[in-house]
Amino acid sequence: MSLFSAVEMAPRDPILGLNEQFGADTNPAKVNLGVGVYYDDNGKLPLLKCVIEAERQMFEAPKARGYLPIDGIAAYDKAVQGLVFGADSAVVTGGRVATVQAIGGTGGLKIGADFLKKVNPNATVLISDPSWENHRALFTNAGFTVGTYPYYDAENKGINFAGMIDALRAADAGTVLVLHACCHNPTGYDITDAQWDEVVAVIKERNLVAFLDMAYQGFGEGIAEDGAVIQKFVAAGLDFFVSTSFSKSFSLYGERVGGLSVVCASKEECARVLSQLKITIRTNYSNPPTHGAQVVATVLNTPALRAMWEEELAGMRVRIKQMRVLLVDKLTAAGVKGDLSFITRQKGMFSYSGLNKDQMVRLRGEFGVYGVDSGRICVAALNTKNIDYVADAIVKVM
């Protein structure tokens, strides 16, 4: 009997499993739409020019790598606040936002989850049905019971907003509500401006705790446009959480650059909250890494680089939108009947295609087109070279 003889094999990550299957597929025309990554029109992971330029500047003025403060690079945290809340926002200037550097957006969620567990250990967490698959696992691992609120409406290819709002109204005070700030993963459907107002009103009325996951700021309608939802929570005077990820918006997946911001009622409360966030970080990994956050801080705090980034991010956003339009055109030209406007209505990298599991399995097996069994495809992995093939394959399995 060894120490680990009773350890069970954990289930494989379904998306990583799909990637392995894709790698082993010998079909030369194969296309991987299972990933959650933006590729350019040549099917390559982009290295942004603003990142290259920031790294060049850092290389030319090399600095020794001491430990960072527990909450990260101060100029980085400030830049995150500027992006999420607006640098001149009263909550920021009034010292009411505690922001810490985190190891990707996932790290921001985890620091927030661990802190929440201390603040309100008996709270339930509600995530959207469906949601990014790690939301459930992450909050469960932090010790919470995780339930769902209705979200996707398969029949109407949209959102079951009445179901969502009813679930929020029925939630106990203190329930933690995980919301996708924009570009919902996996469906691609975002609630409207007016619906956000309703959600904010119910959160306030029912005393719920909002945790906004902002992993795709700039991929929907624009940096400011996607960030506008945050202002609604600020205006309502709520205390809430925002996790930030720069994995996609800077194409810095492997650098693990993210953050967590907690909006508090007062400056004094904010200092106490920050001290607790630091304990969470200190006891998990002591302090965050330097490189990625320094790159992002340099870009965001240098006007010329910032302008370059905004343009490059706009380029990614526009290309995704073009792929949506092109996909609808190709499917329509191939004779697919029915309303396909849901594809262009969706936002961000993903599309719930409406295809069922059998169709997704056929796409893989017969055509080497890899998407998730739920019907989720990554529109950001489509390009002008593979879209004809993909559209043709979709038509054949329909």
Q: For residues 217 and 247, which CB has a smaller minimum distance to ligand PMP in the complex?
A: 247
**Shortest approach of ligand PMP to residue 98 CB, angstroms?**
19
Q: For residues 185 and 290, which CB has a smaller minimum distance to ligand PMP in the complex?
A: 185
Q: For residues 208 and 378, which CB has a smaller minimum distance to ligand PMP in the complex?
A: 378
Task: Report cis status (omega within 30 of 0) of the bond before 11.
Answer: no
**Could you say which of 77, 190, 213, 226 is catalytic?**
213
Q: For residues 54 and 215, which CB has a smaller minimum distance to ligand PMP in the complex?
A: 215
Look at phi and psi of residue 56 and say left if phi exceeds 0, alpha if psi is from -120 to 50, else beta: alpha
248 is catalytic: yes
**Shortest approach of ligand PMP to residue 295 CB, angstroms?**
14
CA neighbours closer than 13 Å in the CB half-sphere of residue 291: 10
**Could you say which of 71, 114, 132, 157 is catalytic?**
132
Q: For residues 98 and 215, which CB has a smaller minimum distance to ligand PMP in the complex?
A: 215
**Shortest approach of ligand PMP to residue 204 CB, angstroms?**
24
**Shortest approach of ligand PMP to residue 301 CB, angstroms?**
20
Neighbour tally for 52: CB within 10 Å: 12
Q: Name the CA radius of gyration of the chain, rounded.
A: 21
Local structure of 53: helix, strand or coil:
helix
**Could you say which of 110, 117, 157, 248 is catalytic?**
248
Alpha helices in 102-192 (DSSP H): 104-119, 133-141, 161-170
What distance lies between CA 354 and its chain's CA centroid?
Answer: 21
**Shortest approach of ligand PMP to residue 237 CB, angstroms?**
26
Q: Report helix angle 49-60 to 291-301, nearest 10.
A: 110
**Binding residues for ligand PMP, per CB under 6 A?**
36, 104-106, 132, 180, 185, 213, 215, 245, 247, 258
132 is catalytic: yes
Cβ burial, residue 58 (10 Å; 0-12/13-18/19+): middle
Alpha helices in 61-103 (DSSP H): 74-85, 90-93
Q: Which residues are catalytic?
A: 132, 213, 248
